[in-house]
Structure 1
C-alpha cells in the first residue's frame, strides 16, 4: 500500500500541522482513522481548512467523543477498534495519483484496544513513517525511544519533522537516531492555507528524495 504514517514522540507535538504540510507537499490524501475527542474542532476539520484541495481529506472511521486514549474512549462508548477494519479502509482509499497520509493518535504505544497499539497498526498498513518531534524537557528521551521502537519493529522511517523553534537537540537526535531531518516547521504567526503551502513548498524536494531513496 502507498501509505505514509505520521506519528509523534507524544501528544501535542504538532502532528496535525505536519500531516497537513506533508499532504500538501505530495498532493496526498489525508486520513485520521481514529479521532478521540469531538468537543472542539477535530484534526480532520483542521486539515480540511488548511489544504489547497480539501476534497483530498477523508472522514474518520472511528469518531469517539471522549478526549482520551482511543481504547479508553472506545470502551466508554461500547465500541471496539479493529485494526483489520482500518487496514481494509486504507486499501479502499488507495489511489496511485494521491498517496495516503495517515495521522496517528499520540505516539507509537498508544493502545487502540486491549491488544493492538499504534505501532501494530503501522505495520498492518505497511506504511513508511514520518516522526514529528518538538523540543521540551525530556524530548530527547522520547525521540530516541520512538526511534528504537521503530527500528526493533523493522518499520521504514522517512525521517524527522521538527516543530517550533530550533534547538541544537535536533542535531543530536538526527545523529543518534540515524534518521534524517526532513524539515523544521516554525511556529505559525497565523496558521492558515498560506502558511501550509509555504512549508509544503520548502519541504517538497527533500521529502520526495527521501521517499524514493
Structure 2
C-alpha cells in the first residue's frame, strides 16, 4: 500500500520544501521508493523545457525514482504569488482533477509519496477551491512544518486545529529553524511538544547550505512507519 502524506506549513517560506526533501532522503535511505510531488507551484522560471520551479526541481532531485518534471509539478505558474492569482494572471483554471491524476500516477510507482503544498493550509487555488479542500477529498494524512519564529505557536495550533476539523489525521510535525539564532527556540519547542497532539518527526537546524547537508539525519520516520502498519492492519481487517 502506497503511503501518501501532504506537507503543509504554518506560513509561506517556512521550510516545506526543505522538510519534504528531508523526508524523501530519509525514506530513500531506508530502502523505500519515495517520490516528491508539488502539484501546484507558483513562482516558476521560463526555460527552454517549459516553466520550472526550483522547489519542484529539488523534490525531483531527491526522489528515489526518476520521473519527468511534469509528473512532479503538473501545474506550473510563473508569478510568485498565491496560486489563484498566478492562475488568473495567466488565464488558467487550476483543475483539481489534474492534481489528483498526477498523484495517482506517482502512487503507482512509489511506496511513499510526499506531497508539498503551496503557502499555508488554506491557500486558494481558485474562486471556490482551496488546497485544504483537495487534501480532504484525497483523505491525505498531513505533516505540519513549523518555522520557529515569533508567532509560530499560535500559527501551529490554529493550523493543527483546522486539519483536524477537516477530518484528517495530523501524522506529525517538523520544526525548522529559520535563522541561526531562532527566538526562544527551546521554549517554543517545549510548548509545541506539549500542545501539538502529534509526534515530532524531526528538528531541522539552520543550514547555511542545505544542498550539502544530509537532511535525513534530522528526520525520524518511526511514527510514519507505525502509521503505515496501522493502515495495513486496518485494510486487512476490512
CA contact (8 A) 1:23 1:30 kept: yes
Structure 2 gap ranges (5+): 29-33, 46-51, 231-238
CA contact (8 A) 1:37 1:66 kept: yes
Structure 1 gap ranges (5+): none
- 2:60 corresponds to 1:48: yes
Partner of 2:196: 177
Q: Distance in 2 between matches of 1:13 and 1:143?
A: 12
Partner of 1:208: 225
Larger Rg computed on CA atoms: 2
Displacement of 1:41? 5.4
Deviating more after overlay: 53-62 vs 122-131: 53-62
Q: Distance in 2 between matches of 1:31 and 1:207?
A: 18
CA offset digits 1:8-59 (Å, max 9, x no partner): 011111000100111122231101011100149520122334x274626743
Q: Distance in 1 between matches of 2:108 and 2:164?
A: 28
Aligned counterpart in structure 1 of residue 79 of structure 2, from 66, 91, 115: 66
Normalising by structure 2, we get a TM-score of 0.80
Q: Distance in 1 between matches of 2:59 and 2:106?
A: 17
CA contact (8 A) 1:128 1:157 kept: yes
Deviating more after overlay: 34-43 vs 133-142: 34-43
Displacement of 1:106? 0.8
CA contact (8 A) 2:53 2:76 kept: no
Normalising by structure 1, we get a TM-score of 0.88
Q: Distance in 2 between matches of 1:84 and 1:97?
A: 20
CA gap 1:115/1:24 in 2 versus in 1, 3 angstroms: same
- 2:122 corresponds to 1:109: yes
Q: Distance in 2 between matches of 1:168 and 1:211?
A: 31
- 2:60 corresponds to 1:32: no
- 2:141 corresponds to 1:140: no
Partner of 1:125: 138
Q: Distance in 1 between matches of 2:53 and 2:136?
A: 29
Q: Distance in 1 between matches of 2:21 and 2:150?
A: 26
- 2:10 corresponds to 1:13: no
Partner of 2:94: 81
